[in-house]
Structure 1
Amino acid sequence: MDWLSEHAWAVWLGLAALLGMAELVSLDLVLAMLAVGALAGAVSAALGAGVPVQVIIAGLTAVAMLWLVRPSLVARLHQGPDLVLGTGKLVGQRAVVTRRITGLEAGQIKLGGETWTAAPYDEHEAIEVGATVEVFEIRGATAYVHPLPELGQS
């Protein structure tokens, strides 16, 4: 029993290692938070705290990790970049008008190195050749665009 009280830090460290290995199987971050609590217990044991204090420190650290750290880690792991495929990746891109665009007559734009049929998003607008436009929507093979203000204008 004397050895156990003298080497409590080793017991805590072993518990932390076991919890860490079990976390590799569960992958839900609960056991990892408990392992951090066990590491806090090991540190308090190495600093000479009594066993009741070690247990309290380990428990409070584990609860704090579960309550404060785990939710943000889980949220971060579950979010990822949005995968945009097909024509959806062209929405928001800038293009240059190569043939005049009006509400009555479709024009053309150079978008992503390709020529697209284009119509104004606002059907009452005319957009001249050379103007820079932003793609608002793509329906079928037609890009619906809106002109961007030229530099120097607001």
Structure 2
Amino acid sequence: MTWMAWLIIAIVLGIIEMLTVEFTFLMLAGGALAAAAVGGLTDNVAIQILVFCVVSVVLLFTVRPWARRLVDSSTPESKTNVNSLPGQIAEALTDVTARGGRIKLDGEVWSARTYDAPIPEGSIVIVSRIDGAHAIVELR
């Protein structure tokens, strides 16, 4: 009957893994499945716990690093927050100079500066980079 307890533990660990996607709980679920298999063969709980521990540790130190590398190498890098802004197009709300100005970028008003010639109000600009709270822009 202890094999059913190990099976339930494996299912719970699998559900937790689906919420975290770190492969840690998946490796523990593998250990619980191995303990369930041993539980079907013997009623000795000490052996079942030993199998659970050994299989879990082996999976954590061998399979998990390989799985993480595989997922990390096949997942495209997506830029978010401030890192996604360079290259976007904005509109100059005021004259933008090396000392300052305002632009409308992605629906928000940003402080802006330019290292080139001053940019007149109403011009379309491209964000070249973000420097703190300022967008560094250039004419399109």
Give TM-score scaled by structure 2 length.
Answer: 0.52
Report if the CA contact (8 A) 2:2-2:43 is conserved. no
Q: Does 1:62 align with 2:56?
A: yes
Give runs of aligned pairs for residues 73-152 of structure 1, distance below 5 A: 73-80=67-74
Structure 1 counterpart SS, 2:5: helix
Structure 2 counterpart SS, 1:79: helix
Match of 1:102 in 2: none
Of 32, 36, 47, the residue aligned with 1:42 is: 36
Structure with the greater alpha carbon radius of gyration: 1
Percent identity of paired positions between Structure 1 and Structure 2: 30
Separation (CA, whole Å) in 2 of partners of 1:58 and 1:79:
30
Report if the CA contact (8 A) 2:34-2:51 is conserved. yes
Structure 1 counterpart SS, 2:74: coil
Q: Deviations over 1:38-91 (max 9, x none)?
A: 0000000001151000000011000000001000000000003889xxxxxxxx
Tell me: CA distance 1:60–1:79, structure 2 relative to 1, closer, same or farther (3 Å).
Answer: same
Tell me: CA distance 1:80–1:39, structure 2 relative to 1, closer, same or farther (3 Å).
Answer: same
Letter in 2 for 1:48: T
Q: Does 1:11 align with 2:5?
A: yes
Separation (CA, whole Å) in 2 of partners of 1:62 and 1:69:
10
**Runs of at least 4 residues off by over 6 Å:** none
Unmatched 5+ residue regions in structure 1?
1-6, 84-154
Match of 1:144 in 2: none
The number of equivalent residue pairs is 77
